[in-house]
Structure 1
Amino acid sequence: MDRERIDDLPEEELSAILNYLSNGMSGNERNTFDQRLANDPEWRLKVTQVKGLLIGIREASLCEHLDDYHPHGTDVTIMWFFKADVLKKWWVAAAITLVTLTSVWWLWIANPSNARLYHSYFVVDAGLPVEMGSADTLVYAFYDGMISYKEGDYPDALVKWNAVAEETGPTDTLQYYRGIAHMAMGRIDEAIALLAVVAGERASFYYQDANWYLALCYLKRGDRKTASKILSRIADSENAKDLKGKLE
């Protein structure tokens, strides 16, 4: 299927995919759908593109609120372009996408100050806008992994990104987002190993964010001294100043 012509997807296929992604199928229907996914590469591509488009619509609707979730208040511009008729077709699908906020009040009661501070400041990076139209196989694979990342399926994202890294080498983008994925899974040692590389590169686009998350990793470990030292590298960040003040 032409990746730039997803708006031509037949209505019955669109309906089936949306029903699958919203867990609206019966057991037999889902088994049949899964078998088709396993045996039909073109069908897998269609489903992947639908998932990407759903995320794009969700991002468009949440764009003005992203600063509330981004750790440094960085301006995040979501560049996702739709035809008017495509937006109408997909708006119902966007309605099924919910952001669930889980209470962490018990952390403030039962855990020591390091854990309380960590959970007060740690918010998973929102990720990059998903662009599924690239003809480059590796670029496409990277954004396929970004879809999994945005859905909170960090193990799947890592599988895809690790495969890309084997072909391209450890770019700062891959290092950074793989580090965040490990962090979100509670794998702090793995996260430190990846983020430390990016945090040491001043020229990297991710320099400030990598240092922020690296400091949080050390805070999670209980190493307040190292966390404070790392925060000194990004002293112009309001969040870094605020957290550093609480650590000292």
Structure 2
Amino acid sequence: MEPNNNIDNTQETQELIDTYLLGNLDAHQLAEFEKQMNIYPDFRKNVMGQKALMQGVEEINLKHSLNDFHSEIADEPEKKWLSRGWLALAASILVLISVSTWAVLSNGNSPEKVFASNFKPDPGLPTTMGTSSDYEFYHGMVNYKRKEYKEAISRWEPLYAANPENDTLIYFLGVANLANGNPRQAEKYLQLAKTKPNSAFSEEISYYLALSLLKGNKVDEAKAVLENSESSSNIVLLKELDGL
């Protein structure tokens, strides 16, 4: 290609940029990526735009973290519970919980064990800059990809209130809540997403809905959601549920 030509701005390209910015390319991929940035100015501009967006999110989150930290320092004299005695007691409780959890999970299969072995959050969408109206959604997607699920949810919920028919938004609210340890809220969103016709996420919705039901020990309901699915991951999960 001529240097004046550019790399097509496809979803695959955006996902590659995200992987680069998150530092997940191996040495060979990194060298090739940086070579392409040197060859194609528009591609480099796109990468820098993505980087600026992520840095903006980081700066906002850092400011919030520092404010919280300063608040904690101001309150420090009142935190008598952080004594050695309390810490020792907390450590003992954690050991007891760990032993109890191990005993439950090692005693054959269980809903919790199946959930733990199958749950992995959706990797998310490419965090393109988009239009100004999409900014909050993609800002939340950056939070989501950084596993800052609470922050992502807080950005997406007002968008959902304004546009309750957006199946993409509803789906990711469901997955984010499940990743954040809120299976009931996740179930609510994913049940709603499942009612949307012709969703691009139909198989994924069934998968995560089944997991949210499983988290609530609703094994039979989880099985029903996965029946007749053609997705390989859904079929594998259903087989594991059949063993419960």
TM above 0.5, one fold?
yes
1:231 aligns with 2:226: yes
Give the distance between the partners of 1:85 and 1:226, measured in 2 at CA.
45
Aligned to 2:39: none
Number of equivalences: 160
1:119 aligns with 2:116: yes
1:240 aligns with 2:234: yes
- 1:201 Cα deviation after fit: 3.0
Bigger Rg over Cα: 2
**Do the aligned partners of residues 84 and 246 (structure 1) sit closer, same or farther apart at CA in structure 2, a change above 3 Å counting?**
same
1:83 aligns with 2:44: yes
Aligned runs of 1:1-248 on 2, under 5 Å? 57-58=21-22, 61=25, 82-83=43-44, 109-111=103-105, 113-132=110-129, 134=130, 136-234=131-229, 236-248=230-242
Amino acid at match of 2:114: L
Give the distance between the partners of 2:240 and 2:152, measured in 1 at CA.
34
Q: List per-residue Cα deviations over 1:162-207 (Å, max 9, x = no partner).
A: 1222333341011000111110111111101100111233401111
- Point out where structure 1 has 5 or more consecutive residues left out of the alignment: 1-52, 63-80, 94-104
- 1:86 Cα deviation after fit: 6.3
Q: Is the 8 A contact 1:118 1:220 kept in 2?
A: yes
- 1:84 Cα deviation after fit: 8.6
- Point out where structure 2 has 5 or more consecutive residues left out of the alignment: 1-16, 27-41, 55-97
Q: List per-residue Cα deviations over 1:128-155 (Å, max 9, x = no partner).
A: 00012x3x32201110010011111111
Q: Is the 8 A contact 1:211 1:233 kept in 2?
A: no
Partner secondary structure for residue 22 of structure 2: helix
Q: Is the 8 A contact 1:115 1:220 kept in 2?
A: yes
- What TM-score, normalized by structure 2, do the two folds share? 0.57
The structure with more helix, counted as a fraction of residues: 2
- What TM-score, normalized by structure 1, do the two folds share? 0.57
Partner secondary structure for residue 199 of structure 2: coil
Give the distance between the partners of 1:240 and 1:224, measured in 2 at CA.
14
Amino acid at match of 1:173: T
**RMSD, aligned α-carbons:** 3.0
Q: Is the 8 A contact 1:200 1:207 kept in 2?
A: no
Give the distance between the partners of 1:167 and 1:137, measured in 2 at CA.
15
Partner secondary structure for residue 25 of structure 2: helix
Q: Is the 8 A contact 2:223 2:238 kept in 1?
A: yes
- 1:158 Cα deviation after fit: 1.1
- 1:57 Cα deviation after fit: 2.7
